[in-house]
Amino acid sequence: MKKERDILLCDLDAFFASVEQHDRPELRGKPVIVGGSPEGRGVVSTCSYEARKFGVHSAMPMKKALSLCPSAIVVRGRMSRYKEIAGQVRQIFECFTPDIEVVSIDEAYLAFPAGEGLNAGQVIHDHIKKELTLPISVGVSTNKLLAKIACELAKPDRVKTLWKESVNSKLWPLSIRVLPGIGPVTAEKLNRFGIKTVKDLAAYPLESLSRVLGNNASIIHGYAHGIDERSLEFERDVKSISEETTFSDDLYDINTIYAILLELSAGVGYRLRFANLTSRTITIKLRFSDFKTITRGKTLPEPVDSDSEIYKITRALFGKHRGKPPWRLIGVQASGLEEGGQLSLLSPSETEEKEKKLTEARDKLHKKYGSEVIFQARRLKKGK
Ligand code: TTP
Ligand code: MG
């Protein structure tokens, strides 16, 4: 039998916007939108809760956002800063448990022994408020689904539980859209059968539901009853680690691509080392403006985990397969994972020197190009 554990979902509130408000006190209490420029095809990455009152939300065209909230202050994204803070948040999580599944840049599931979840959630919440002065919401339950929904109910800046016993009173009144796997299209389909709330879905016979939802019906029906068998995927169990970035505008500049590749490589490298893994196959993913998407990989004689090695490979792969600009998305994936760190053929001082140079190069590129690139997609993706 599976061991009962408490599961927490920790998700920072209005993450990019909160970091901007943290770093620039004059933005606090104001509607702040992080995203691309209103000219062109800029979209909202996220916005502060003050802006959400006006109906602004992620992925909305910036033009529309500003027509809803003309007083909003628009800030271009600073991905390296958000990543830095995400790293600090993760370090805090690591102080409390090694069992962490990172879902996205600002969201992670944490597991605790049964009965300890609520206390852990409160302590983590308070710790992040105190150490980083950032708002975070924490959902506590015994599975991922209920922890996630508890977190939605907790937002902003609180800790909430949603135990199985409260499914009828707290989950059932909600829209079916809260359930994973139910996007706008599926919701619309279900609405046509009179299924609007989670309660409607829970009461709907599974057999009939299968005719509408196919193979996913029993899992989603289970969700409607608060049942979720998904286990946490710790980095030590995953088969690949990847990060990718979609640009809000088509990107033509090759140096910006190099800067992004460097950052993605460093992100993947960090996560490999964090999980004490090395990778034998490094792959890049490229999407062109016509949405054609390619992946090209290289399998290595010796596995790697260092930022500089990964960057070198991705840069060479990009050079060979870059095709015709502009580009819409770029991603880096490490697969062929093996336990244990990379054996360095260099002496420690040589390695240090190499890493130092790399960091300097990264900082230089950032200064020059960083602010021109708006990251609109969820950046941290876990491969399967
Ligand atoms: P989310 O956690 O989905 O959103 P959020 O933290 O801004 O707000 P909430 O309080 O609802 O959690 O995403 C985390 C960050 O990822 C967000 O701050 C910006 C970025 N992001 C985008 O760039 N584009 C998107 O479409 C979404 C959803 C997020
Ligand atoms: Mg968030």
pLDDT digits (tens, 9 = 90+) for 67-98: 999 999 999 989 889 988 998 998 899 888 88
* Per-residue tokens: 61: 């065209």
Fill in the amino acid letter for 8.
Answer: L
At residue 177 the predicted structure's pLDDT band, cuts being 50, 70 and 90, is: very high
Banded model confidence at residue 349, pLDDT cuts 50, 70, 90? low
Q: Which ligand neighbours the alpha carbon of 18 most closely?
A: 1
For ligand 1, whether the C-beta of 13 sits within 6 Å is: yes
Report the length, in residues, of the chain: 384
For residue 35, which atom of ligand 1 is closest to its CA? 23
Domains by residue range for the chain, with CATH: 1-162 (3.30.70.270), 168-224 (1.10.150.20), 240-380 (3.30.1490.100)
Q: DSSP letter string over 78-109?
A: -HHHHHHHHHHHHHHHHHH-S-EEEEETTEEE
Q: Would the CB of 11 count as within 6 Å of ligand 1?
A: yes
pLDDT of residue 377: 28
CA dist., res. 151 & res. 156, Å (int): 9
Ligand 1 center from residue 107 Cα (angstroms): 9
Q: Is the CB of 15 under 6 A from ligand 1?
A: yes
pLDDT digits (tens, 9 = 90+) for 216-242: 899 999 999 999 999 998 876 778 999
Residue 290, pLDDT score: 87
Q: What is the pLDDT of residue 246?
A: 82
- Which position among 20, 50, 101, 107 bears the catalytic label? 107
Spell out the residues 6+ positions from residue 301 whose beta carbon is closer than 8 angstroms to its own: none
Predicted pLDDT at 372: 34
Choose which residue among 47, 106, 137 to substitute to test ligand 1 binding: the one with the highest number of ligand atoms within 8 A of its C-beta: 106
State the first-to-last Cα distance of the chain, in angstroms, to the nearest integer: 24
- Pocket test of ligand 1: the residue of 9, 12, 15 to mutate, having most ligand atoms within 8 Å of its CB, is 15
16 lines ligand 1 (CB under 6 A): yes
Ligand 1 contact, 266 CB (< 6 A)? no
Calculate how far, in angstroms, residue 181's C-alpha sits from the geometric centre of ligand 2: 19
CB 372 within 8 A of CB 321: no
List the helix and strand counts (H, then E) for the chain.
13, 13
pLDDT value for 354: 59
Give φ, ψ of 314 to 5 degrees: -65, -35
Counting ligands in written order, the one closest to the CA of 16 is 1
The set of residues, in sequence order, having a beta carbon less than 8 Å from that of 281 and lying 6+ positions away, is 297, 298, 299, 300, 334, 335, 336
Report the pLDDT value the prediction gives residue 3, as an integer from 0 to 100: 64
Condensed to tens digits (0 to 9), the pLDDT of residues 120-165 reads: 999 999 999 999 999 999 999 999 999 999 999 999 999 999 999 9
Q: How many A from CA of 11 to the centre of ligand 2?
A: 5
Q: Is 155 in the pocket of ligand 1 (CB under 6 A)?
A: yes
107 lines ligand 1 (CB under 6 A): yes
From the CA of 360, how far away is ligand 1's center (Å)?
29
Mean pLDDT of 46-72: 96
- The model carries a pTM of 0.72
Q: Whose CA is nearest to atom 28 of ligand 1?
A: 58
Cβ(59) to ligand 1 under 6 A? yes
Are 253 and 268 a contacting pair, CB within 8 Å?
A: no
Q: With left for phi above 0 and alpha for psi between -120 and 50, is residue 350 left, alpha or beta?
A: alpha
Q: Is 302 a catalytic residue?
A: no
What SS3 state is found at 310?
Answer: helix
